Amino acid sequence: MNTPTTTSETSQMTEERLAAFGDAWRRKDIDALMTFMADDCEFRASVGPEPGSTYRGRAEVRHGFETILAYDDAGEGHGGITIINGRYGASQWVLVRRDAAGRETRVHGCDIFEFEGDRIKLKDAYRKVLAELETPGPT
């Protein structure tokens, strides 16, 4: 297992470094993902009973990453835009799934980040839910 990289007070997250985190996510490389995480990290998954699921600390976050990557295993992830503004950032993503007949479903989502130097303190994930909406009748 890789040990986390050290960070200094003057280091800051960059778009390139956050994009590298996204690349590691799409490769499902847990060891690489954990090198980006701060010691007191938190992961708020977009799936679970809260709604979502919250994982705190390196051991729980690692387990949370493993859990959500297994949940999304049948999909292919694609990155989108990444924005960083000081200690905060956001990135868009799309998860593409295909059913047995080859029909494609796209799940769009985003992650909101808080950084501690050049490491991720918080990853808060959101995804759009596929569901039929009932249109209300005239009132």
pLDDT tens digit string along 52-91?
999 999 999 999 999 999 999 888 999 899 999 999 999 9
d(CA 121, CA 107): 25
Band of residue 116 on the pLDDT scale cut at 50, 70, 90: very high
For the chain, which domains are there? 15-127 (3.10.450.50)
Check pLDDT > 60 for residue 6. no
The mean of the pLDDT values for the chain is: 91
d(CA 67, CA 61): 10
Q: What percent of the chain has pLDDT over 70?
A: 93
- The reported pTM is 0.86
Check pLDDT > 50 for residue 1. no
Nearest partner of 3 among 125, 119, 124, judged by Cα: 119
Can the peptide bond before residue 51 be classed as cis, meaning omega within 30 degrees of 0? yes
Band of residue 9 on the pLDDT scale cut at 50, 70, 90: low
Q: What is the mean pLDDT of residues 106-126?
A: 97
Q: What is the mean pLDDT of residues 27-50?
A: 96
Check pLDDT > 50 for residue 3. no
